[in-house]
Structure 1
Amino acid sequence: MGEKLRVGGFTPFTAIDYPGALAAVVFCQGCPWRCRYCHNTDLLPAKAPSAYDWEQILGFLASRQGLLDAVVFSGGEPTAQNALETAVIQVRALGFKVGLHTAGVYPRKLDRLIPSLDWVGLDIKALPENYAAITGVEGSGKAPWQCAELLARSDTPLQVRLTRHPVLTSDTELEQIRHKLQELGIPHLEVQRCNSEKALDQTLKFLS
């Protein structure tokens, strides 16, 4: 048997995580970045113990056929796990649409997944050269913009969003990001306010 998806959290019902659909959300364990405003810090360690078993979640989803429309894989960073592709296939076999929340960390993995995805929420954090100031990882800005290009060329319904803290994203950079996305053919950027109360970097609470 192959590697099972490591699950750090599960929401059995939501009306807000997949546009226009009733969905369940699977929070995948592990992320290679340490974004300063991350508020799901329990999901960051790749091998953290979990009370959730993927096979049990599949059983639950099977019992919700006809009641739920979709399953969304979130995180953490779902594409960090090789088991995600198999999990997506299993969910589709149950008749659900599949959504993905991703920060665009692994373009090649995303490229393989795109044909099996019905909707993607892509987080764009900064211009490529400014990513490390948020993620803590040098060179992290190239991959997300590659993913934006891949998704712009696909027919997959897409929402691109940016979490904004005023210290991390200036008005000028925000407009530059919008322009860069428009050049790719992505007309809209959803800007969401940073909730710094549970942020990984607690100094953000005192900066404005």
Structure 2
Amino acid sequence: MRLAGLQKLTLLDYPGKTAATVFTPGCNFRCPFCHNAELVQGAAPAAGSDESEGGNNEETPYGANAQRGADEGRGADAQCPEDDERNAGAECAGSTSESHLSKQPFPTVSEEEFFSFLDKRQGLLDGICITGGEPLLQPDIEAFCAEIKRRGFAVKLDTNGSLPDRLRALVDDGLVDYVAMDAKNSPARYAETIGVPAFDLSSVEASVAYLLSGAVPYEFRTTIVREYHDEMGLTDLARWIKGADAWYLQAFVDSDTVLAGEGSLSGYAPDELEALVAAVRPIVPTARIRGV
């Protein structure tokens, strides 16, 4: 299992639980607003490319400028086993093939280090959040989750939903207790939003339908970027995920690690974001703002 960082404590990532967050590398989406440019621009090909097999979440700590928590309501990231915490924000994804794992240099954490840390946190932490990148691209994600569960910790999985079979298998095997899935945009603008032309949305549609079935506790989340999201598009997205248990709209925060380049994209002001949430609440009453 390839691990790219560890946040030793989060009170935000796992609803209702004290948790740690572990990061996995690799992404085959190219969301322009992703804060993990140094990860995304590594060796991993984009979904739909000749090298890509998967259709592939939210939402990392791949270097000193890692950004993630602002997109996901996260308070701080530690870049390795050290307690280096910082505000952050990101959205990335991956695919199932090991060839899709980024080979870009970034801090790593060994499984031995990670599980040694967990053993020292028995009775202090309730759960572990597995995020990325796209964790489901990792070929040994099942064994990794099983080892966490064996130690008595609950598991939260962050995903972009492009690998529904792997998601279902983890849930069916009792290896995941909570899922946070990125709902990037309305179907009409999905390919544009994830930076993958002609993206086949069927895999994401399958994951949405699976979560809406109530198989596992879950949330949807959408990072709102002015250049990609408006009231009409968010209303279409709301109709798609109607009945969602929870939907968090997260404010985009610019930084020098954004894939499109700093200054290329912009977020909405808090009052504008409130208006967008008000517009979709008649369809998804559970919609709320996170990260403002």
TM-score by length of 2: 0.65
Look up the SS of the partner of 2:264 in the other structure.
Answer: helix
Counterpart in 2 of 1:59? 116
Following the alignment from structure 2 to structure 1, what is the Cα–Cα distance between the partners of residues 247 and 37? 25
- Aligned equivalent of 2:18, options 16, 22, 27: 22
Classify 1:191/1:140 alpha carbon distance in 2 versus 1 (closer, same or farther; 3 Å): farther
Matched, 1:48 2:104: yes
**Which one has a larger percent strand, Structure 1 or Structure 2?**
1
Moved more, 17-26 or 39-48: 39-48
Provide the aligned C-alpha RMSD in A: 1.8
What's the counterpart of residue 287 of structure 2?
Answer: none
Query: Which stretch shows the higher mean deviation, 80-89 or 133-142?
Result: 133-142
Is 1:171 aligned to residue 171 of structure 2? no
Does the 8 A contact of 1:10 with 1:27 survive in 2? Answer: yes
CA deviations on 1:85-125 (whole Å, 9 max, x unpaired) are 11100100010000011111211111111232111111000
Identity of aligned residues (%): 31
- Aligned counterpart, 2:28: 32
C-alpha deviation, 1:206, in angstroms: 6.2
Given the alignment of the two structures, is residue 151 of structure 1 paired with residue 211 of structure 2, yes or no?
Answer: yes
Once the two structures are TM-superposed, the CA of residue 141 in structure 1 deviates from its matched residue by: 2.9
> Counterpart of 1:204 in 2: which secondary structure?
coil
Unaligned 5+ residue runs, structure 2? 43-101, 269-292
1:49-76, Cα deviation, whole Å (9 max, x unpaired):
4431122101111111111000010001
Equivalent in the alignment of 2:85: none
Q: Give the aligned partner of residue 249 of structure 2.
A: 191
Following TM superposition, the consecutive aligned residue runs of length 4 or more in structure 1 with deviations greater than 4 angstroms are none
Q: CA deviation at 1:156?
A: 1.2
CA distance in structure 2 between the partners assigned to 1:157 and 1:71 by the alignment: 15
By how many angstroms is 1:167 displaced?
Answer: 1.2
Whether the 8 Å contact between 2:18 and 2:127 is mirrored in structure 1 is: yes
Alpha-carbon contact 2:161-2:182 (below 8 Å) kept: yes
Distance 1:204 1:178 in 2: 27
Number of residue equivalences: 202
Unpaired segments of 5 or more residues in structure 1?
A: none
Separation of aligned partners in 1, 2:201 and 2:225: 18
